[in-house]
Structure formats: structure tokens, C-alpha cells
A and B are shown apart, each in its own frame.
Chain A
Amino acid sequence: DIQMTQSPSSLSASVGDRVTITCRASQSITYSLNYLNWYQQKPGKAPKLLISAASSLQSGVPSRFSGTGSGTDFTLTISSLQPEDFATYYCQQSYSTPWTFGQGTKVEIK
């Protein structure tokens, strides 16, 4: 199984801050594409897809969210944190089953 490791596990930030979350896969998850998705989850709610294929922003997702990376190392960046962005973020690989998630990064208000 491919292990996904996110860092940090949690962070405290202020509105307007630039936030970067890292996700590392235990093996390369890039073939013709980067098989890496990012989700946002708020308490008591379902996950919401933000980015697919490492960098493809989903329709309706604000442009302050961006994703980069290839191979084993990926990042999710929020360029200017907004109040509605306080949530837990998960990376997920779809390179091979079992599809696996990182443990999550909780973004809290400083």
C-alpha cells in the first residue's frame, strides 16, 4: 500500500497568511499524470474536492488555493487565508488501490 504522510498535522495561522501543507507519498504516484487529490473537510461535513491531478483546481474553488508537485512530494498552498478556510485538509493518492489518504492537516485560527 502507498503511505501518504502530511505535514504539519496541525497549524495555527491568521487571516491573510500564506499557508503551505506538504504531502509525501511512500512511492512515486506520477505516471502520465500526478495521481494526487486534495480535499477540504469542515467539522460535521463531507469532504470537498479542491484539487485533482496535483494542480487542477476544481470549478468553484477560489484561486487562492493551488497545488504543485510530482513524484512523491506535493504541496497545497493557500495564498491568503480566509475565515472560511479553517478546516482539515487531506491529500489522497489514486495511483493504485487501496486509495489512501494522508492523516490530515488541521488549520486553526491563531
Chain B
Amino acid sequence: EVQLVESGGGLVQPGRSLRLSCIASGFTFGDFAMSWFRQAPGKGLEWVGFIRSKPYDGTTQYAASVKGRFTISRDDSKSIAYLQMNSLKTEDTGVYYCSRGDFYGSGGYYFDYWGQGTLVTVSS
């Protein structure tokens, strides 16, 4: 059974840092891209960024709102994806989800498994 479990959320002051983890099980982690999404309270879904699998160079891409502040990495030996969040702003508050990205085969991804989410609150 595929499972994704996020952790590391909490209350943090503006300008500080936080690292989220996403522990995966039930599939060959290294074969899949991993993506992070977020949802502000009462709002819709927003893509944060993703990391390709190593066969596809393991490169990353980010939303403009977090580029330069957030970094996604992966440890395939431990089946963990990370989201390092620096210089946090109040508008970064929300539930953060990790998700497995499966490849269409001609570009583009769909996200077929999601974690339960972890709440990040940025407030003084």
C-alpha cells in the first residue's frame, strides 16, 4: 500500500526556517517524482515545487512565490522527500502536502498519492 506521511510542521515566526519531511512507503521511491503543494486556510490548492526522479536528472522546479526561499531535496536511500523553507512569510501559512508524481510518458505529471498534510503557521 502506498503511503506518504508528512511531518515537521508547526508554528514559526516570520523570517525563520522550517524543514518538512515526507516519508514514503509501498513503492520504489526512486522511480517517481515528488511534489509539494499547499493550501492556505479556506483557500484552494497551490503547487509549491517538485523534484524529478534521478533517471530524469533529479532536477527541481518551484513556484515563483517560493523560488529562492524553498528547496526540495530527496534521499532515495531513505525514501524521504524534504521541503526546506527559509525566510518564511505569513502568507506561507497553510497545510502542506507531499504527493507522488507519475509521468504521463510524453511530458507532464499527475499526482496519484497524497500525504495527509502538515500545518505550517507563520505568525509572530
Contact = CB atoms under 8 A, between A and B. Distances in A.
Interface of A: 31-33, 35, 37, 39, 41, 45-49, 52-53, 58, 90, 92, 94-95, 97-104
A100 to B, nearest CB: 7
B109 A32 contact: no
A47 B113 CA distance: 9
A53 B110 contact: yes
B64 A98 contact: yes
> Which range holds the interface residue count of chain B?
20 to 34
Interface centre among A45, A98, A103, A104 (most CB of B within 10 A): A98
Interface string B32-44: 0000010000001
Interface of B: 37, 44-47, 61, 63-64, 97, 104, 106-112, 114-117
B107 A46 contact: no
28 contacts: A33-B104, A33-B106, A33-B108, A35-B104, A37-B111, A39-B45, A41-B45, A46-B115, A46-B116, A47-B37, A47-B97, A49-B112, A52-B112, A53-B110, A58-B112, A90-B44, A90-B45, A92-B45, A92-B111, A94-B108, A94-B110, A95-B108, A98-B47, A99-B109, A101-B46, A101-B47, A103-B44, A104-B44
Contacts of B104: 33, 35, 52-53, 94
